[in-house]
Structure 1
Amino acid sequence: MNIAKDFFLLYNNVYGTSHIPEFVSARTLMAIWMLVTVVLTSTYKANLKAQLISPKVNVTFDSLEGLVNQKQMKWSIPSLSPTYMLYKVDEENLTKIGITDYCVFAAMFICTGLIGVYASFKGNKSPEEFLMGNRSFRPLPVAMSLLTSYVSAISFLGITGEIYAHGMQFGVFVLGGVLSIIFTIYFVLPILYPLKLTSINEFIELRFKSKSLRTLVSVCGLLKSVIAMGFLLYAPTIALASVTNIGVLTYIYILGIICTLYSAFGGIRAVIWTDVLQLSVMLIGSALVTVVGCAQIGGIVNVLNISSKGGRLNVFDVNFNPFERSTFSYTFLFGFFSFGVIYWSEQINVQRMCAVKSIEDAKTMLKILIIGWILIYIIIIGEGLVAYATYYGCDPMALGIITRKEEIMTYFISDKMSFIPGLPGLFVATLVGGTLSSLSSVINACVAMLWKDICLRFSYFKNASLKKSMLTNKILCNQNIDDVSPEYICPHLRKFYWKKEKLDEIFEKEMQIMKNNINIHEDEFDQSDKMIENVEKN
């Protein structure tokens, strides 16, 4: 009982009251209430202290890239702060290259033109020599030419961007391409080479005994080639314009005119030897970019380690889910069939295979092609991994510095390689080399199909002298490839699937976006009205 009296005496002193419960039940109730009060107060204080010390915030990012991509937390960088100055992009210096770079770039054009002039003076006295080089080429230059023909600037920009953004899984197509070349050596070449074809469509007539079918297939092939020339010419000019002060349209005319002239005057001999030069420049430029990039990061082991952390080395994803972006099985089949069609039936490949002295030389040429194929795509994939490792945790695309993954290499060259005189110019020359080689090969192939499949169906050309025949072939080379460039085509394609009212609305939005200097992605175009309204209010 003394303990109970002491307890209630303490209660009176604390709460300042003289009333003490007399009954046991009242005292028990009061004691329980006081105990609950103490427990609740202690729990509240403990939780409050815990929240103040360690706030319960769900952090969903662990890098600057993650911070930029998340939408839950608002963030900003104070102007002129150290962080702001660190990530600030000097756009004026970023898009300029030096005099040394322009010299390297110009040297590519000069050497290409000189090879065309030399080839034009050396021979080309008949259509057979102009289109096939009298079937006397050695395997190595033809293999290099064939490799260059299918590794364009689109490969250097598109595949590196794919590796940078999504990893090496897409690179499995190289294995499928190698298998398609092996298939060509053992199953396609023994059938096509003995026929001594100039145009692949000659096989159509021999197989189906139909000149009309041969003409139809030839026209379809020419139409496809003309459209392909436009895209081959337009795609690299975007990258070239981003690192130089020359506009896209100017590049279209420069590349188109140079390529048309040396193809017209030099024939297949000029095309093959300029391809050899351009492949050498492409290999040197790409290898230097990869090696210097690896050295800046700390070596190839560090590049692979960072790429592995980011999931960019995942290759053996063997599943057949059609909703996956890319898997081992699908990319392998893509490489086999897409490049199989090229090596089994494309005019460029058949023309090269039949331009060597013997079937054994043709097999040797394709075996050399396999080695070169693997080598150049290892370098291209390496460029993508180096770019990813360089910007790991600081993605230029997430920061809005670039808008497409295909721009990563041009930004990487301008941002990290500009301290080496001539290297940005060498990279530009690499893009130019890929463009010129692919374009000249398509032009020469188109001339072969036009001459053999269409012109020789008329008696005037059949009975023409060698001089007239050669003049006709050179005129056919001078088809105006500039007019088919997507620079002109793409803006008009929308007319086929949008009504006039929709086009007017889109055009008005585009003008407002340009007027207010708004940066907008294509997938955000529907939200442009709100963006324009916010800018005009401010």
Structure 2
Amino acid sequence: MEPTFDGWDFAVLITILAISAMIGIYYRYTGGKQKTMKEYHLADQSMTTFPVAVSLMASFMSSISLMGASNESYQFGTMFCVINLSYILSTPIAAYLFLPVFYRMRTMSVYEYLERRFGHSTRLAASMAYSVQMIVYMGIVLYAPALALEAVTGVSKVTAILVIGLICTFYSTIGGLKAVLITDVFQSLLMFAAIYSVIVVSAIKAGGLAPIWQVAEERSRLYFTDFSLDPTVRHTWWSLTIGGMVIYLSLYGVNQVQVQRLLSVRNLESAQAALWWTLPILSTLSFSTLFSGLAIFHYYRNCDPLLEGRIESRDQLMPLFAVDTMGQYPGLCGLFVSGIFSASLSTVSSAVSSLSTVTLEDYIKPLYKCFTKKPLHESKSTLPSKIMACIYGVVCIGMAFTASSMGGVLQASLTIFGVIGGPLLALFSLGLCTTRANQRGVLLGLLIGFIFSFIIGFGGPKQPPTPLDFKADGCTAAGNDNMTLVTAALTQLQNMTFNMTTAPTTTATTLIEYSWFYRLSYLWFSVIGFLITLIVGYVSSLLLETLKWADNKQIYLDYQQIDVDLFIPPLARRLRKHNVEEMTKF
């Protein structure tokens, strides 16, 4: 297949990337010119609700999410849309239980909470886990779309990685959080434009939206009713709702990227409103992306590109569709690619900004105070932050090139996001929701939680999911060579389907025997890590307290010595009431 990315498309792409860079330059030389920590890391706490709400959505809706969700409905149907229910259930928990605690503290690093609640060791353990998580994820966010776009547009993945990495590093470094937030708004519009360009073009070629929906129904893509209690079923109402809640809360409740954005608004009510506004924006993009997968399926309903041999992975379907259908509209394919690039830009810039903040607050400032015996002055803090932002941008680019040589490790690298998120959520939950948890107990729980999560996430052979049916009988015009590929691919797919649906046997020459433990749905990984960390952390804390081995600075049985602002509002109110009652006795 010859790439059809022409001059108009490149002009659109270059213009949009230049606008992102110009936003960073604008905020570098306006306002306070990013000279104070409050302006550089918290946008001077002057942001309004809407841009923060959009940025919250854009921060973790990367190009992987866009192409992955579209591929999900193309291959497996629409069951994944049920995850939006978890967003609805989780938003009030994040807005009214977790957020008020962080907002009262007004700290730049969310992990400072853990030091105040437990101790410095807990803070370091959590911030190091977060840093590893985001660095690995940044590399994947850059590499995956670059690989897909190279395959179908002719844009070199080296060029794509360098362009995205350098531009987002540039405006994140010089423009601070305010530039990141405003570019997120701009880039979110492009993300929606990319998705709707796919839907509109497909609807034009199909003669409307109704034929797309009809074909999806006829080919079993419309599916919303799997209530199975079997945890090995990939997507059910239970796995999507419960697993989705843990993932959502780990991202929007206690994650540095999101909490830093929520602290950039004027007051708590505005921050809570931003979280609520994120919900419809996120769900709209989720439903639209899933429908775009159905639209692409309608176009390739009789000739699947993977069976035809045109692509190596169905993750490349969306850019392939753009090249196949948008070439007749000048600049439209460029707009689509800009949307994919923008999804990566928004995610990487968010990670660069948050990692810079965590590094300054959790590592540089404590080390400076340790060696000089005095705190790092405000006027000297901005430059190290900018240097760290630049360094993390370069690290991100390096990780992307490293990912290109890892092959199968890519899937594992994406899994690490959920594997780390569940235990970290449990760690914060132990601090926010209990008075008896102590540092040694929660660190033991965190360690065991990570061990179990990594074993489940990366151990043992994983059973590949079984896709729905695909056809290749419409590929006859491709020629005899392509039909040979089609026949071979169909045979391979039939054998694969047979192997995955047949009960495992002990015959080593035919089938792989997948352990039940490793057949669990990936949505349960974060849930298991969360529960193990929570249970082990709490029980260990009680045992250590009983044995007088707890090392917290607080005395747990004397509620008057507990800082009640470190707990969720309902528990804080109960502790205040208890303190008042105790004082009236004297």
TM-score by length of 1: 0.72
- 1:311 equivalent in alignment to 2:223: no
* Alpha-carbon contact 1:226-1:484 (below 8 Å) kept: no
What amino acid sits opposite 2:253 in the alignment? W
Task: Please state how far the C-alpha of 1:142 moved relative to its aligned partner.
Answer: 0.6
- Secondary structure of 2:307's counterpart equals coil
1:27-426 map, 5 Å: 91-92=1-2, 95-122=3-30, 123-208=33-118, 210-426=119-335
Q: Structure 1's 295 and 152: CA in aligned 2 closer, same or farther, altered over 3 A? A: same
Residue deviations 1:259-309 (CA, integer Å, cap 9, x gap): 111111001011001101101111122222212212221212211111000
Q: Structure 1's 461 and 443: CA in aligned 2 closer, same or farther, altered over 3 A? A: farther
- TM-align CA RMSD: 2.4
Matched residue, 1:456: 365
What amino acid sits opposite 1:187 in the alignment? L
* Alpha-carbon contact 1:253-1:482 (below 8 Å) kept: no
Rounded Cα–Cα distance in structure 2 between residues aligned with 1:204 and 1:476: 23
What amino acid sits opposite 1:481 in the alignment? V
Rounded Cα–Cα distance in structure 1 between residues aligned with 2:65 and 2:193: 16
* Alpha-carbon contact 1:229-1:484 (below 8 Å) kept: no
Task: Please state how far the C-alpha of 1:467 moved relative to its aligned partner.
Answer: 4.4
1:5-16 map, 5 Å: none
Rounded Cα–Cα distance in structure 2 between residues aligned with 1:265 and 1:385: 41
Q: Structure 1's 406 and 462: CA in aligned 2 closer, same or farther, altered over 3 A? A: farther
- Secondary structure of 1:200's counterpart equals coil
Rounded Cα–Cα distance in structure 1 between residues aligned with 2:374 and 2:292: 51
Residue deviations 1:449-491 (CA, integer Å, cap 9, x gap): 1111111112259654544322111101111224542432453
- Secondary structure of 1:485's counterpart equals helix
Matched residue, 2:556: none
* Alpha-carbon contact 1:153-1:431 (below 8 Å) kept: yes
Matched residue, 2:389: 477
Q: Structure 1's 110 and 310: CA in aligned 2 closer, same or farther, altered over 3 A? A: same
Rounded Cα–Cα distance in structure 2 between residues aligned with 1:482 and 1:372: 28
Structure (1 or 2) with the larger CA radius of gyration? 1
Identical positions, percent: 29
Task: Please state how far the C-alpha of 1:339 moved relative to its aligned partner.
Answer: 1.4
Task: Please state how far the C-alpha of 1:340 moved relative to its aligned partner.
Answer: 1.7
What amino acid sits opposite 1:355 in the alignment? S
Rounded Cα–Cα distance in structure 2 between residues aligned with 1:299 and 1:494: 39
Rounded Cα–Cα distance in structure 2 between residues aligned with 1:308 and 1:494: 34
Q: Which runs of 5+ in 2 are unaligned?
A: 413-483, 496-586
Task: Please state how far the C-alpha of 1:232 moved relative to its aligned partner.
Answer: 1.1
Task: Please state how far the C-alpha of 1:96 moved relative to its aligned partner.
Answer: 2.6
Q: Structure 1's 120 and 462: CA in aligned 2 closer, same or farther, altered over 3 A? A: farther
Matched residue, 2:338: 429
Residue deviations 1:331-371 (CA, integer Å, cap 9, x gap): 22222211121111110111111111111101110111011
Q: Structure 1's 494 and 311: CA in aligned 2 closer, same or farther, altered over 3 A? A: closer
What amino acid sits opposite 1:113 in the alignment? A
Residue deviations 1:225-257 (CA, integer Å, cap 9, x gap): 111111111111112223433311222122111
Task: Please state how far the C-alpha of 1:135 moved relative to its aligned partner.
Answer: 1.3
Task: Please state how far the C-alpha of 1:193 moved relative to its aligned partner.
Answer: 1.5
Q: Structure 1's 462 and 145: CA in aligned 2 closer, same or farther, altered over 3 A? A: farther
* Alpha-carbon contact 2:13-2:335 (below 8 Å) kept: yes
* Alpha-carbon contact 2:151-2:311 (below 8 Å) kept: no
What amino acid sits opposite 1:477 in the alignment? A
User: Which stretch of the first structure deviates more once superposed, 453-462 or 272-281?
Assistant: 453-462
* Alpha-carbon contact 2:77-2:223 (below 8 Å) kept: yes
Residue deviations 1:4-53 (CA, integer Å, cap 9, x gap): xxxxxxxxxxxxxxxxxxxxxxxxxxxxxxxxxxxxxxxxxxxxxxxxxx
Rounded Cα–Cα distance in structure 2 between residues aligned with 1:492 and 1:111: 33
Task: Please state how far the C-alpha of 1:186 moved relative to its aligned partner.
Answer: 2.5
Rounded Cα–Cα distance in structure 1 between residues aligned with 2:388 and 2:211: 52
TM-score by length of 2: 0.67
Residue deviations 1:158-201 (CA, integer Å, cap 9, x gap): 11011101100122112212322232122222222212121110
Rounded Cα–Cα distance in structure 2 between residues aligned with 1:268 and 1:358: 17
Rounded Cα–Cα distance in structure 2 between residues aligned with 1:373 and 1:489: 28
Q: Structure 1's 167 and 461: CA in aligned 2 closer, same or farther, altered over 3 A? A: farther
Matched residue, 1:468: 380
Residue deviations 1:421-455 (CA, integer Å, cap 9, x gap): 11111110001100000000001100111111111
* Alpha-carbon contact 1:145-1:272 (below 8 Å) kept: yes
* Alpha-carbon contact 2:262-2:271 (below 8 Å) kept: yes
What amino acid sits opposite 1:142 in the alignment? V
What amino acid sits opposite 2:380 in the alignment? K
- Secondary structure of 2:29's counterpart equals helix
What amino acid sits opposite 1:372 in the alignment? I
Rounded Cα–Cα distance in structure 1 between residues aligned with 2:125 and 2:228: 40
Rounded Cα–Cα distance in structure 2 between residues aligned with 1:198 and 1:409: 38
Rounded Cα–Cα distance in structure 1 between residues aligned with 2:121 and 2:95: 30
Rounded Cα–Cα distance in structure 2 between residues aligned with 1:265 and 1:362: 25
* Alpha-carbon contact 1:456-1:462 (below 8 Å) kept: no
User: Which stretch of the first structure deviates more once superposed, 324-333 or 478-487?
Assistant: 478-487
- Secondary structure of 1:397's counterpart equals helix
Aligned residues: 411
Rounded Cα–Cα distance in structure 2 between residues aligned with 1:176 and 1:249: 37
Matched residue, 2:421: none
Q: Which runs of 4+ in 1 moved over 4 A?
A: 460-467, 492-495, 518-521
